[in-house]
Amino acid sequence: MCGITGIIGRQPLRQPHPLSSLVDGIVHRGPDDRGEYLSPNGVCALGHTRLSILDLSAAGHQPMQDTVTGNTIVFNGEIYNFAALRKACEADGYRFRSHSDTEVILALYRRHGVDCLRFLRGMFAFALWDEREQRLFFARDRLGKKPLHYAESAQGFTFCSEIDPLARHAWTDCRLDRQALDFFLHLQYIPAPWSIYRGIRKLPPAHYGLLDAAGLRIARYWSIDYRDKDEFTDSQALDAFEEKLAEAVRLRMVADVPVGALLSGGVDSSVIVALMAKQSAAPVNTFSVGFTEAAFDESAYARQAAEICGTRHRPAELGAPDLDILPTLVRRYGEPFGDSSALPSFAVCAAARQELTVVLNGDGGDELLGGYPRYSLPDTTIRLATWIRKRRPLPLIDPAKWLGSRGPFPFKKLRRLALDHLLLPDAGPFTMYGGSRNDSLRQTLLGSNALADNLPQWRAGWFRQARQFSDNPVDSMLWLDNHTYLPGDLLVKMDIAAMHCGLEARSPLLDHQLIEFCARLPSRFKVRQRTGKYLLKKLAERYYPKDFVHRRKMGFGIPLDSWLRGPFRALLDDVLRDPQCMAPLDQDSIDQIRRRFLEQKSDEATRLWPLFMYGLWRRHGAPVQLGD
């Protein structure tokens, strides 16, 4: 994996052109090499920082050029089926100069143009300058593992793997996007295509862009449909699932550098490690992070999984948090990011990077087969809700508002039972933040800047599409999580945490062919008898004891409450009481939340942490303009 950036000017770029500062801002993503390219007419400049994984020689240097066409590419990611694609291109007469997957994309584009995307199996973000067409073609992988941000201005077009360097570029409009701030206060992340800056946008997953004299065009090239189903017996489904997941693991173990795994001790990462151990001639290197507080510590399960699989395991304990990492953390994310598990993610990636360059992880299992508690619907609810939807689709509504508590008991209780079990059992992804970051709180924090229709319209749009591409509540939630929470929060968290220390993280459970297979499975293989991730857990039973597999789900969290009251306390108070850090949020509302937390009248930690991260970003991130 690497860092990519570029500038396409409306006029030829003056020397020295301002690309080097963008490259400097992403050097941590690729510490092994860097390169720059300027097109013959001076309009396009591309920059790259390289983390060498495949073809460690100088032949893998980027930007990489097709000497026949003059097309030039900068690429971040891995194409896991590049060996098979290379053979097909060689059969068509393409003569390769390297052994890298980057050159395979150039070869495919020479023959197929934009349609080359359908051949790629992997995680990627790339930009390709078509010299003959004088056109920039850029794209992002189907699930959104690799990021790509861009900015349009009167001077031209710029793009970058990370937000912070782009926000510091002279051409970028750095005014605060209040719509994005509204999203953050509810979701704890900012969904694509928005960013915290008005002038910066995120290319959504499974989309590509074309920029030429006619302007900028963005289009989707892949989508997932949960309506078409294949019929399997239990044994057939389990065997087919194991075969496809094992293949996804095998493809991700290919590298010219050592490969290991992040082993949390949860079912997802434990299954990945078991399949790695089965296919590896040598013991797999595994890494985990634990906590001194037992309620947040899964390290014992990680050790158990490591012993069963015979791995070389390196546990690390995260005790008192490192305050010095916080300024770097907020700069790396480039905008407010409120998922507190970013801290242990940084820690485990840093531990793994001391010995490895590539790790596999268990990201995506919950979104593949329904692992969150909200998926644990009774079988009768799933069947009845499916039957109702087939006969009378719901009107387009805002689920979060419809699920609000209204009216006295018993009408409130009866109404909620009807909604949860008959009409809106698939609204969980919308209501997961409702208690701590509800509409009323956001409106109080934003004051006159509140946007009443922003989130309702966003939720209704996604809900409409989820219902369009699914026939039951389980698949609706899977569709929603794969388009919102997974790419907006989880994959951003891991990309930044891993690339901060030059580590490549690969996710077999996010293989798009595996996702397509699971989408075609009936819901009983995902949730059965209120057990989520049913098929993945049955596979885990082939490698681990049942009590290991079926224990209570813990998640990857931190002792947030005690940390905010202890080691973070002084910094928390300093940031939250600094009007310059917290503007344009209402200071009185912030003070009330902080006082309630410190007086222990209620647990306000989940509200305070995103506000804390917002204030730290204002203090240490790129300057933002608050005025219109």
What's 410-457 look like in SS3?
Answer: CHHHHHHHHHHHHHCCCCHHHHCCCCCCCHHHHHHHHHHHCCCCHHHH
Residue 392 — very low, low, confident or very high, per pLDDT cuts 50/70/90?
low
- Residue of 512, 466, 500 whose CA lies nearest to 485: 466
Mean of pLDDT values over 461-476: 92
User: What pTM does this model have?
Assistant: 0.93
Q: Which of 150-154, 207-211, 327-331, 418-422 has the lowest mean pLDDT?
A: 418-422
Cβ(111)–Cβ(165) below 8 Å: no
Residue 367 — very low, low, confident or very high, per pLDDT cuts 50/70/90?
very high
Across 183-328, where does the E strand assignment appear? 200-202, 207-212, 215-220, 259-262, 285-291, 312-318
Instruction: Report the C-alpha gap between 116 and 110 in whole angstroms.
Output: 9
Q: Are residues 185 and 312 in the same domain?
A: no
Q: Which of 470-479, 535-544, 560-569 has the lowest mean pLDDT?
A: 560-569
Q: Are residues 15 and 127 in the same domain?
A: yes
Facing residues of 220 across strands?
A: 207
**Is 530 within a domain?**
yes
Mean of pLDDT values over 356-385: 92
Mean of pLDDT values over 273-280: 96
Prior bond to 344 cis, omega within 30?
no
Mean of pLDDT values over 456-462: 87
Q: Are residues 378 and 363 in the same domain?
A: no
Mean of pLDDT values over 473-492: 96
Where is the domain boundary, 188, 220, 252?
220
Q: What is the pLDDT of residue 604?
A: 83
Residue 349 has pLDDT above 80, yes or no: yes
DSSP string for 465-533: HHHHT-SSHHHHHHHHHHHTHIIIIIHHHHHHHHHHTT-EEE-GGG-HHHHHHHHTS-GGGT-BTTBSS
For residues 89-120, b (16+ Cβ closer than 10 Å) or e, as one string? beeeebeeebbbbbbbbbbbbbeeebebbebb
**Residue 340: CB partners within 8 Å, gap ≥ 6?**
557, 558, 560, 609
Please identify every residue annotated as catalytic: 2
Q: Are residues 497 and 595 in the same domain?
A: no
Count of alpha carbons within 13 Å of 72, Cβ hemisphere only? Answer: 21
Mean of pLDDT values over 214-223: 97
Cβ(172)–Cβ(166) below 8 Å: yes
**Residue 12: CB partners within 8 Å, gap ≥ 6?**
41, 42, 43
Q: What is the pLDDT of residue 456?
A: 82
Q: What is the pLDDT of residue 14?
A: 79
Residue 507 has pLDDT above 90, yes or no: yes
Q: Tell me what percent of the residues of the chain surpass a pLDDT of 70.
A: 90
Q: Are residues 135 and 11 in the same domain?
A: yes
For residues 385-396, b (16+ Cβ closer than 10 Å) or e, as one string? bbeebeeeeeee
Length of the chain: 628
Instruction: Report the C-alpha gap between 150 and 590 in whole angstroms.
Output: 32
Q: Are residues 453 and 494 in the same domain?
A: no
Mean of pLDDT values over 332-346: 94
**Is 399 within a domain?**
yes
**Pair of tokens at residue 153:** 């201005």
**Is 555 within a domain?**
no
Q: Are residues 379 and 356 in the same domain?
A: no
Residue 547 has pLDDT above 60, yes or no: yes
Q: Are residues 379 and 357 in the same domain?
A: no
* DSSP three-state, residue 218: strand
Mean of pLDDT values over 197-225: 97
Q: What is the pLDDT of residue 411?
A: 47
Side chain identity, residue 336? P
**Is 186 within a domain?**
yes
Residue 421 — very low, low, confident or very high, per pLDDT cuts 50/70/90?
low
Q: What is the pLDDT of residue 602?
A: 61
DSSP string for 548-594: HHTSPP--S---HHHHHHTTTHHHHHHHHT-HHHHTTS-HHHHHHHH
28: DSSP letter: G
Where is the domain boundary, 164, 187, 220?
220
Packed helices 473-483 and 454-468: angle between N→C axes, nearest 10 degrees: 130
Q: What is the pLDDT of residue 598?
A: 86
Q: How many domains does the chain have?
A: 4
Q: Which of 187-201, 263-277, 590-604 has the lowest mean pLDDT?
A: 590-604
Q: What is the pLDDT of residue 393?
A: 62
Q: Are strands 200-202 and 207-212 parallel, antiparallel or unpaired?
A: unpaired
Instruction: Report the C-alpha gap between 186 and 441 in whole angstroms.
Output: 9
Residue 415 — very low, low, confident or very high, per pLDDT cuts 50/70/90?
low
Q: Are residues 292 and 356 in the same domain?
A: yes
Mean of pLDDT values over 213-239: 96
Residue 394 has pLDDT above 80, yes or no: no
Residue 396 — very low, low, confident or very high, per pLDDT cuts 50/70/90?
very low
Gap between the terminal Cα atoms of the chain: 38
- Residue of 2, 3, 344 whose CA lies nearest to 164: 3
Q: Tell me what percent of the residues of the chain surpass a pLDDT of 90.
A: 69
Task: Compute the mean pLDDT over every residue in the chain, rounded to the nearest whole number.
Answer: 90
Residue 329: Cβ within 10 Å count? 22
**Is 628 within a domain?**
no
Q: Are residues 118 and 36 in the same domain?
A: yes
Residue 13 has pLDDT above 70, yes or no: yes
Residue 409 has pLDDT above 50, yes or no: no
**Residue 193: CB partners within 8 Å, gap ≥ 6?**
201, 202, 203, 204
| φ, ψ (nearest 5 deg) of residue 72 | -130, 140
Q: What is the pLDDT of residue 436?
A: 55
**Is 554 within a domain?**
no
Q: Are residues 359 and 469 in the same domain?
A: no
Where is the domain boundary, 190, 220, 250?
220
> What is the domain-level CATH number for residue 151?
3.60.20.10
Q: Are residues 468 and 503 in the same domain?
A: no
Residue 432 — very low, low, confident or very high, per pLDDT cuts 50/70/90?
low
Q: What is the pLDDT of residue 453?
A: 81
114: DSSP letter: G
Residue 587 — very low, low, confident or very high, per pLDDT cuts 50/70/90?
very high
**Is 627 within a domain?**
no
**Structural domain containing residue 416:** 370-475
DSSP H or E stretch at residue 388: helix 379-391
**Is 580 within a domain?**
yes
Q: Name residue, tokens 């891995």.
A: 78
